[in-house]
Amino acid sequence: MNARLANIIRSIQFNSPLRRYFFPKYAYYFNPPQLGFLCACIEETRNVPGSIAEVGCFMGATTVYLNKYMDARGIEKPYRSVDTFNGFVADDIQFEVENRGKTKDLFTGFRGIKKSWYDKIMQDNGITRVTSTQADVNKFDLRTLGPISFVLFDVDLYRPMKKGLPELYEMLSPGGIMVLDDCDATSMQWDGADQAYKEFMQERGLEVEIVHGKLGVIRKQGL
């Protein structure tokens, strides 16, 4: 393709209503400092036994980013991801409506992607360490993930967060770190995650640590 034709095609793409699909766009639901913090946690726990886990992975962008960081830093551990790959569970939304005063329309439009698409995205990015599981956290025993050195827990709503927290904490290796997204009491949509996190910390007698506006942190003391 010659340069003139390439410029014509780019001009057509730029002036198209589909422009956002052809040109660079920020692809992450975490801002740069938040992504940097997640990478720092992976670095800090590189010598802690166990896999890395991501529970709630939506479109897979963060999975790709963190795995590329692992590649760059020579960190080789299994990476386990769990998601419904079908958006929010109806019972979780109903719980928010009936028990937390929310409206259903707050949680529409978050369908995510199919598991097969997620797996193909990993393949297209040359990522081979990721093993994905399609499951509802409320019904899936997260302890089956085995020992974990670092986990990003991002399921947004109160009910799955409340159920999954003790299971993941049980499997977190000494010296391991868990990061929970959406720990922001001011968020009308996602304050359930904040509530579940703070309840867990109070029950365990642990100190609440929220960084970069919404990342709840749990550090398991080493032996």
How many Å apart are CA 53 and CA 170, to the nearest integer? 14
3-state secondary structure of 87: coil
Structure confidence by residue, pLDDT tens digits, 100-117: 988 888 887 667 789 999
In terms of Cα–Cα distance, which of 56, 8, 10, 23 is closest to 181? 56
Structure confidence at residue 19 as a pLDDT band (50, 70, 90): low
Residue 142, amino acid: L
- Taking each helix axis from N to C end, the angle separating 61-73 and 32-44, rounded to the nearest 10 degrees, works out to 50
- Comparing 39-48, 145-154, 214-223, the range with the smallest average pLDDT is 214-223
Residue 182: domain span? 26-219
Average pLDDT over residues 185-193: 89
58 within some domain: yes
132 within some domain: yes
Q: What is the pLDDT of residue 112?
A: 72
How many Å apart are CA 69 and CA 201, to the nearest integer? 29
Q: What is the pLDDT of residue 7?
A: 73
Residue 220, pLDDT > 90, answer yes
Average pLDDT over residues 24-52: 95
Q: What is the pLDDT of residue 27?
A: 84
125 within some domain: yes
Structure confidence at residue 1 as a pLDDT band (50, 70, 90): low
pTM of the model: 0.89
How many Å apart are CA 17 and CA 40, to the nearest integer? 38
Using a 10 angstrom Cβ sphere, with 0-12 exposed, 13-18 middle and 19 or more buried, the burial of residue 110 is exposed
Yes or no: say if 157 and 205 are a contact pair by the CB < 8 Å rule: no
Q: What is the pLDDT of residue 105?
A: 80
Q: What is the pLDDT of residue 64?
A: 98
156 within some domain: yes
117 within some domain: yes
Residue 186, pLDDT > 70, answer yes
21 within some domain: no
How many Å apart are CA 181 and CA 81, to the nearest integer? 15
Average pLDDT over residues 1-19: 71
Q: Phi and psi at residue 199, in whole multiples of 5°?
A: -65, -45
6 within some domain: no
Residue 81, pLDDT > 90, answer yes
More confidently predicted of 103 and 150? 150
Per-chain mean pLDDT for the chain: 91
How many Å apart are CA 34 and CA 87, to the nearest integer? 23
Residue 34, pLDDT > 90, answer yes
- Using the structure block, give the residue that is written with the tokens 């929970």: 180
Torsion sign, CA atoms 56, 62, 63, 66: negative
What is the CATH classification number for the domain harbouring 72? 3.40.50.150
Average pLDDT over residues 134-151: 97
Total domain count for the chain? Answer: 1
Q: What is the pLDDT of residue 20?
A: 67
DSSP 147: -
Average pLDDT over residues 57-79: 97
In terms of Cα–Cα distance, which of 173, 154, 168, 182 is closest to 44? 173
77 within some domain: yes
Q: What is the pLDDT of residue 92?
A: 87
3-state secondary structure of 22: helix
Average pLDDT over residues 206-210: 97
